[in-house]
Structure 1
Amino acid sequence: MAINKTVNKRTNSHGAMKNCMEYVLRQDKTNEQLAYVTGPYCYDEINYDLVYRTFLEEKKLWNKDSGRMYAHNIISWHKDEQITPEQAFEFGKEFAEKWFPGFQTLVAVHKDKDHIHCHLVTNSVSYEDGRKLHSTKRDLERMKQLTNQMCRERGMTVVEKGKHFDGSQIEKGEVIAWSKDKYNLFRQQVKDSFVADCAMAVLKALENCISKEQFIEKMKQFGWRVNWTEKRKHITFQNQDGKKVRDSNLSKTFHLDISKEALEHEFNGNYERVRAEAERTAGTDEELVGYYRQVETACEGAGDITGAGNEREGRVTGEKSEDERVYPGISEKNTQSENGKTAAILRESRNARRNAEVECRNSADDRRIVRNAETQSVFTAEQRRFEEQKRIDDQERARAARRRNKRRSEPEL
């Protein structure tokens, strides 16, 4: 697995180019057998001063000794990759000849770390026609493709998005940071990192939010302002200390998809779950209502039986009564003798139905009261924060006005 990274440092001065070459050719990191210069180079030995003078002479020859001086690339392999320093050296030379044809490139392999890596320092002026070296975002993607192709030709592993070196899936929320400083920060002090705090706040806010507005409000409760506009590609989160985090930063660091599209997809999923739960609850209520209707019908049938004996108006011979359908134990033979028991059963059913209705209404009222209380509590807390912030802003404006007035009133010396 090879990662080809372009180092974005200041490259527009002679001193920066000389310092870079001095670092790349340090004896404690490399040796002469693992250093090479592609293109014109008239010296037998390779050291940073000679390479620096060679690059400088080429620039002066074409009268282009200004602007960007060099390009710096690092090709690094995973610590478990089966590759020798000599193989990495050949890899770097081949890549320099393919990607930087016509440009002088210093190639040196470092083996002082637990993983082998190769430095490439390229002159920004071509020795063939004097053209300047330029790279675009599309070129960076093509550079990655060339690196992967060269790895495949050598039987090495290739980087796959969302997977570790051994091919296992990267777990959601796992810290993945290509920046060394950022990686160490999260490995050692992840709990104290404002970036980690922002990621935790986003995950908590996403649990029940069904809209962009609700998500922004939830993040505000967690202490984060959200800058989400149509004009900007990325979402920016800012905490109370003024520290900002982009959605792309969270996605790369924690291997999460926190883009606008992903958040809106999550909102839609939460909305569908809420709607399905509401439909399920409504279906349960309808079943309960249907049961109550059956009991009510049975009650009406019992009244007819009590007043009119065994005969019911409009009853077809052989057809079972409503009571017999609801209570199969009641047959036409013993209807008269069981009238008293049936009436008692129906009265109990009627009372149970009424009690259930009362409990249902009370439960709904209780839930409504709790929801209203929660809403009112959130609104009150938000109102207090808004008023406090307004008071702080007013004080700051007043202090600024006093400072301006004081400066104006001071006599000029």
Structure 2
Amino acid sequence: MAVNKTINKRTNTHGAMRNCIEYVLRQDKTSEPLTYVTGPYRYDEIIYDLVYRTFLEEKKLWDKDTGRMYAHNIISWHKDEQITPEQAFEFGKEFAEKWFSGFQTLVAVHKDKDHIHCHLVANSVSYEDGRKLHNTRKDLERMKQLTNQMCQERGLTVAEKGKHFDGSQIEKGEVIAWSKDKYNLFRQQVKDSFVADCAMAVLKALENCISKEKFIEKMKQFGWNVNWTEKRKHITFQNRDGKKVRDSNLSKTFHLDISKEGLENEFNGNRQKARDASDRNSRSDEELRNYYRELDAAIADARGITDQAQSGEGYSRTEFREGERVHAKTKTANTDAGRRETDDLIRQAEIARRSSEINRRNSASDNRAVRNAETESIASAEQRRSEEQKRFAEQERARAARRRDKRRSGPEL
């Protein structure tokens, strides 16, 4: 039984896209044989930084580096499903090629949980015609149908509403969950379970909260008042209908640590994540500024483009777009040649960037060698001057001695 879930989080920043790709390719969750990128990808290794840069380059080509950056889907199989990581990998690649056709898509299978799941991260800009990726509610239903169809073709279980994995009927009001992971929280008959409503509200409120006060404020927005005092051991949640739920009840039902200590740990973790993300974004922004400066310089050298932007804050696209992006500006019969020309130009720019890094390192080494040579030269010159002074002094002493001898001997008769 496969569940295809679209992750609707903040996806309109470079940092969010980079963090998502980095998470999906973490070595403790996946391995090289279980990763793949559909569409143009010229590197031999699949590394998060290279995938991130490839996504960015495609956006720059089409001048669509704003708005939604990527789409993130997770296809999860039940822990009792008879499917191997390799089969899940082939499933993910086929789904990506069918659903995200024309869009670069990172596919990676994670096997760090008790159930296998496949991550798909799709670039929001098509490498074929530059169109943006959009999914409507009807598209999400079609996505579910495609997932079920692919399961049927492989003889896998198909999810049925109101039934367990083994086909037995779910009793009215029963709430089930696959694992502790909030993405895999699975529930039925939500309208009949205020306990499930409370659990979902807690998970949503916890996503970015960094303090007890913010958590209580968010829970109130979701329709739940929170009674959290030092005098009482447990936290009590109460909805608008007056129904109450204890934190211990939520922890027991969903196997989650929803206690005072557990929530405080979540707040601390979110604060640390925010600090780490801020540091990564600062480093990433600086790297991007340097990278695009070098890219502009390489393009200018390769094609004679002049009057490049000097600010370094953004990628100077105007000349590049008008003079080089043949397949992005025109829809003539020569689009394939234009795309190849643009790809060659980007490749040349990447080579120039790497060459520039090597030259900088070599330059630093050369500078050290020059400084050492200068030091040695100065020392040698000092030694020569000292020796010359000694020779001059000896010559002066010899001349003085000859004059003294001449005066003593007197004039010749």
TM-score, normalization by structure 2: 0.46
TM-score, normalization by structure 1: 0.46
